[in-house]
Amino acid sequence: MKYFICGTGFVFPRHVQAIAKVKGEFAEIVNGNRNIETWKEAIDKADYDVAVILTPPDFHYPMILRAMERNKIILCEKPLVINEQDLEAIKDYDKLYTVAQLRYLDIGSNFTNLTHLNQYDINMRVAVHRDADYFKKWQGQPMRSGGILYNLGIHYFDLLLHIFGPALNVLDIKLDDKNASGVIVGANYNARFYFSTDTAENEQERVFSINGREFDLAGETDKLYQKVYQDLERGKGVKVQDVISTINLIEKIKYEAR
């Protein structure tokens, strides 16, 4: 398949490597977050099968709509949208996929010794150091990134719901531009989460644990991206309907924090 890539930021090399691994063809590459006319013209005129959207999140929705008008296959980085109401226009488009690479981790089979339990205690903790320059970029601007829940939390929330099922309630929510914490309650789990971009360099950590057992979510990142593209080449992948519950959860957390 021919791939048109819009966005050349941090995650771009992983996509390029994954496309090369599946022997995909690069149709065109543009840095789409700089000039609106550049990406519009490229989406409209480039010769490609798949539009790969890697721009800051505030560009995702208009770019998806533009590629939908051309009836293209679309692969968009997380989050698909940062406004819940935007889901209505895209939720039934059958050729829209998102990058949910953590779903390809073999975590389920790695905790078979725990599956006899009726309750799971889950801890999701991402504490990172970000300097002043970070908050001048899109990542540190909630109107562009969707805020810390979308920027850091969505990966973990999506994995949680994928493995353990729907969230029934959220409790003890605290949220500001640099920190988010609370508890997500499911039918058979309590998941504590803490996300922060306001951590000292020597205190950074990334934790995803189930009943005290920690799992490495970053060890095989490149292989996970390759699996995303292998599925895409077979007409498979994570579609809008698969991630609506994740977006709804984030919006519920935001609502409870008001």
- Give the span between the Cα atoms of 214 and 250, in whole angstroms: 23
**DSSP sequence for 83-98:** SGGGHHHHTT-TTEEE
- Whether the per-residue pLDDT at 115 is higher than 70: the answer is no
**Per-residue model confidence as pLDDT tens digits over 10-19:** 999 999 999 9
**44 HSE (CA, 13 A, CB side):** 7
- Give the span between the Cα atoms of 49 and 79, in whole angstroms: 22
- Whether the per-residue pLDDT at 103 is higher than 80: the answer is yes
9-13, 48-52, 82-86, 114-118: least confident range: 114-118
Q: Which amino acid is at 23?
A: K
- Whether the per-residue pLDDT at 41 is higher than 70: the answer is yes
Asked whether 247 and 80 are in contact (CB, 8 A), the reply is: yes
Residues 133 and 211 in one domain: yes
Number of structural domains (the chain) is: 2
- Give the span between the Cα atoms of 18 and 230, in whole angstroms: 9
- Give the span between the Cα atoms of 204 and 158, in whole angstroms: 22
Output the CA–CA distances (angstroms, integers) from residue 147 to 96, 124, 173, 180, 203, in the order listed. Answer: 23, 17, 15, 10, 22
Residues 15 and 80 in one domain: yes
Q: Which amino acid is at 63?
A: M
Residues 83 and 135 in one domain: no
**Per-residue model confidence as pLDDT tens digits over 186-216:** 999 999 999 999 999 999 999 999 999 898 8
The pLDDT value given to residue 36: 67
Torsional class of 71: left (φ above 0), alpha (ψ -120 to 50), beta (otherwise): left
pLDDT band at residue 108 using 50, 70 and 90 as cut-offs: low
Residues 134 and 109 in one domain: yes
Residues 112 and 89 in one domain: no
Residues 251 and 137 in one domain: yes
- Whether the per-residue pLDDT at 5 is higher than 80: the answer is yes
Output the CA–CA distances (angstroms, integers) from residue 32 to 37, 51, 170, in the order listed. Answer: 9, 12, 36
Residues 107 and 211 in one domain: yes
Q: Which amino acid is at 126?
A: V
Q: What is the CATH number of the domain that holds 127?
A: 3.30.360.10
Task: Please name the residue that has the structure tokens 């969505």.
Answer: 154
Residues 18 and 140 in one domain: no
Residues 89 and 113 in one domain: no
Q: What is the CATH number of the domain that holds 74?
A: 3.40.50.720
Residue 180's beta-bridge partner residues? Answer: 175, 195
Mean pLDDT (the chain, rounded): 92
Share of the chain above pLDDT 70, in %: 94
Task: Please name the residue that has the structure tokens 């189930």.
Answer: 210
Retrieve residue 39's tokens: 């990406």
Retrieve residue 142's tokens: 């909630």
Residues 121 and 51 in one domain: no
Its pTM stands at: 0.93
**Per-residue model confidence as pLDDT tens digits over 231-244:** 999 999 999 999 99
Residue 25 sits at φ, ψ, to 5 deg, of -110, 135
The pLDDT value given to residue 107: 73
Average pLDDT over residues 70-95: 97
Residues 78 and 115 in one domain: no
Share of the chain above pLDDT 90, in %: 82
- Whether the per-residue pLDDT at 35 is higher than 70: the answer is no
CB atoms within 10 A of CB 28: 15
Residues 70 and 130 in one domain: no
3-state helix, strand, coil in the chain (%, to 5): 45, 25, 30
- Whether the per-residue pLDDT at 113 is higher than 60: the answer is no
Domain membership of residue 52 as a residue range: 2-101+222-239
The pLDDT value given to residue 33: 59
**DSSP sequence for 189-250:** EEEEEEEESB--GGG-EEEEEETTEE--SSTTHHHHHHHHHHHHHTT-SEEHHHHHHHHHHH
**Per-residue model confidence as pLDDT tens digits over 140-193:** 999 999 999 999 999 999 999 998 999 999 999 999 999 999 999 999 999 999
- Whether the per-residue pLDDT at 222 is higher than 60: the answer is yes
The pLDDT value given to residue 227: 96
